[in-house]
A and B are shown apart, each in its own frame.
Chain A
Amino acid sequence: MINTNDILETINMIENENFDVRTITMGISLLDCIDEDIEKACTKVYDKICRYAKDLVKTGEDISIDYGIPIIHKRISVTPIAMLASACQSSKTVRFAQTLDRAAKEVGVNFIGGYTALCHKGFSAGDYALIESIPEALSVTDRVCSSVNIGSTKAGINMDAVAKMGKIIKETAQLTADRDCIGAAKLVVFCNAPEDNPFMAGAFHGVGEPESVINVGVSGPGVVRAALAKAPDCDITDVADIVKKTAFKITRVGQLVACEASKRLCVPFGIVDLSLAPTPAIGDSVAHILEEMGLETCGAHGTTACLALLNDAVKKGGVMASSHVGGLSGAFIPVTEDAGMIAAAESGCLTLTKLEAMTAVCSVGLDMINIPGDTTPEIISGIIADEAAIGMVNSKTTAVRLIPAIGKKAGDYLNFGGLLGGGPVMEVNTASPAKFIGRGGRIPAPIQSLKN
């Protein structure tokens, strides 16, 4: 028989430590839906998504019951819509967003990602049209997520896109100001965007991906924190070992769920994303893991080192547990989605500058950060450029998801509800980078891109 302690440990993880599989994300290629008539293209998109994903939600629920593991989200990612938009003569790119939203509601998924443009080296006509339509698209839809890749280690940074995205983020927040600016919470600007990421808001189905694929994102910050709490006085080597062992167990469940979903849906298994993804629920916080390691508050000096250890140990533990690892894989630090980060930001201990340093060693970037509503587009672009530079030089993914809190200032609050959470508006350095951003052009790819 299976070891009794192992069984009880697992039950305790689920009941008391918020252990869950965060998302089963079905990637669907829409390349065969391209049509120069936008209405025809939209019909094909809607039909294909509904056909492929009709059983996704039910299958997720069935697997959840069979294994007793909560599977929180069932989601869809699609081919970057800019590629479909490129073929259309129409300027109504937003029709694609409305179609995605309708399809998501029909099949019952809570988010659909892929309202995306990849313009790290320059814009195609479709990229430009899609980017221009993002503010409207995110204000007239509920479940569509958008992302724009503006840089990569191989291509450098498209500074025209950086400048453009500063304005687009601000405009998106303005158009949804009556809903706590929630549009901006569904918009991510990437450098080195992964093509198989199952997590929103940045998920899209890359062009190198198969026709359809199942990617799974695991979670479990609460489980890691609880494991560390059982060994309060061990040294840092042991801390890393505990994180690794816990990550292994968490990832095994992700692998099991991914294989099962793949089998039941007859869709190939893609990857397991080994991320520690927090939620605003108490006991599901990445910040609290860092504090369990010995920091008074997340944001204190030492935070970057603790996060580096955590991020690395999660990967080392998880990589052997899954046959294919991909996506973002690491620790997420979305401020408004993490109870510990929210508290640290409220206390003033966690600042934007500290978060920027943390993004150099974690798996994503400046994520879910509320900034004052009067922050200029150029400053937002400056923040994007800094973040993209960290990603480009370190050959890693970095992202920016900022929410300009229209009509609010530092210390005020935004509340999105649900998993997006809410939190205080954080201070931003107001010195202007306008001339730098206004220059346009491209930051050349760094020397480390020349690996051939």
Chain B
Amino acid sequence: MKAVITVIGKDTVGILAGVSGECAKHGANVIEVTQSVMQDMFAMIMMVDISKCNVPFKELAEGLNKIGEQFGVKVHVTHEELFNTMYRV
């Protein structure tokens, strides 16, 4: 089972480390990362495998949202299935 984490906001030092650290803490394995910085806006999309995640999805999402708040960025976590459903016929 995979989840997609998106991080959007103003670029600051340590966002990637903060988000991936939180994933590691809960046993969510980062599979792929795409990120871009345009001027000082930061957009990162991270695909993580949550099949061995040691906490319920809700806790993972809450933990990541807290990291987002610390860095002043918006973090969104969702099951991969949402995007597959919306964009694949």
Binding site for B on A (CB under 8 A): 1-4, 6-8, 10-11, 14-15, 62, 65-69, 249, 252-253, 255-256, 320
- The answer to whether B58 touches A62, judged by C-beta atoms less than 8 angstroms apart, is yes
- In the complex, the answer to whether A256 meets B34 with C-beta atoms within 8 Å is no
Question: In the bound complex, what is the Cα–Cα distance between A2 and B89 (angstroms)?
Answer: 13
Cα distance A249–B83 in the bound complex, in angstroms: 10
A67 nearest CB across to chain B (Å): 5
Least CB distance from B55 to A in Å reads 13
Query: B61–A1 contact, CB under 8 A?
Result: no
The number of chain B residues with a CB under 8 A from chain A is 25
- Other CB < 8 Å A-B pairs besides A2-B83, A10-B83, A68-B78, 13 of them? A6-B83, A7-B4, A7-B6, A7-B83, A8-B6, A15-B74, A62-B58, A65-B58, A65-B61, A67-B78, A69-B78, A249-B87, A256-B82
Given A66-B79, A68-B76, A4 contacting B87 (CB threshold 8 A): no
Does the CB pair A2–B85 fall under 8 Å? no
B53-89, CB < 8 A from A: 57-58, 61, 74, 76-87, 89
Contact A67 B86 (CB under 8 A): no
What's the nearest-Cβ distance from chain A to residue B65, in Å? Answer: 10
Q: How far is the CA of A85 from the CA of B55 in the complex (A)?
A: 49
Are A252 and B86 in contact, with the CB atoms below 8 A?
Answer: yes
From B8, B47, B61, B86, A10 is in contact (CB under 8 Å) with B86
Contacting pair B34 A1 (CB below 8 A): yes
Q: Are A2 and B80 in contact (CB under 8 A)?
A: yes
Complex: A328 Cα to B58 Cα, angstroms: 33
**Which residues of chain A come closer than 8 Å to B79, judged between CB atoms?**
66-67
> Can you list 7 A-B pairs with a CB-CB distance of less than 8 A?
A2-B47, A6-B87, A65-B61, A68-B77, A68-B82, A69-B78, A252-B86
A253 touches B85 (CB 8 A): yes
Q: How far is the CA of A65 from the CA of B81 in the complex (A)?
A: 13
Report the Cα distance A1→B30, complex, angstroms: 13
Query: A66–B83 Cα gap in the complex (Å)?
Result: 13
Shortest Cβ gap from A257 to chain B (Å): 10
Q: Is the CB–CB distance between A8 and B78 below 8 Å?
A: no
Q: Closest chain B residue to A62 by CB distance?
A: B58
Chain B residues whose CB sits within 8 angstroms of the CB of A7 once the complex forms = 4, 6, 45, 83
Give the CA-CA distance A66 to B59 in the complex, in Å.
Answer: 11
B43's nearest neighbour on chain A, judged by CB, is A8
Asked if B40 CB lies within 8 Å of chain A CBs, one says no
Whole-angstrom distance between the Cβ of A342 and the nearest chain B Cβ:
30
Is B85 touching A256 in the complex (CB atoms < 8 A)?
A: yes
A3-B4 Cα distance, complex, nearest whole Å: 12
Mask for B22-46, Cβ within 8 A of A = 1, else 0?
0000000000101000000001010
A-chain residues with CB within 8 Å of residue B89 when the two chains form the complex: 320
Chain B residue at minimum C-beta to C-beta distance from A260: B81
Given B57, B80, B86, B87, which contacts A65 in the complex, CB threshold below 8 Å? B57
In the assembled complex, which residues on chain A have CB atoms less than 8 Å from the CB atom of B34? Answer: 1, 4
